[in-house]
Amino acid sequence: QFAWSLKGYSDREIAKVDYNKTAEELKIKLEAGVPHSYFNSTYASIKVHNSSGSVMYNKEIMGNRQQNAETQTVPVK
């Protein structure tokens, strides 16, 4: 199991990606709030491709815009 944490202003966690190797899936959890008010463009992004190159998940996180809480499970077989 591996995990990545994306942080915004004051090191507040804005998103977390957990990889479960056994289940072959990613759990992507976005936290509600404004990631970083000083950025008026893309602050972070998460893009997941499958083995054939198709995009399975794509999220751009804008720095100064309110982000809604969201959880997605994405298969990565």
Which residue range is the domain that position 68 belongs to?
Answer: 2-75
* Domain count for the chain: 1
pTM score, whole prediction:
0.90
Which residues on adjacent β-strands are paired with residue 30?
Answer: 15, 70
- For residue 39, the model assigns a pLDDT of 95
pLDDT (tens, 9 = 90+) of the chain, 77 residues, equals: 899 999 999 999 999 999 999 999 999 999 999 999 999 999 999 999 988 999 999 999 999 999 999 999 999 88
Please answer whether residues 46 and 17 qualify as being in contact, where contact means their C-beta atoms are separated by less than 8 angstroms. Answer: yes
- For residue 1, the model assigns a pLDDT of 82
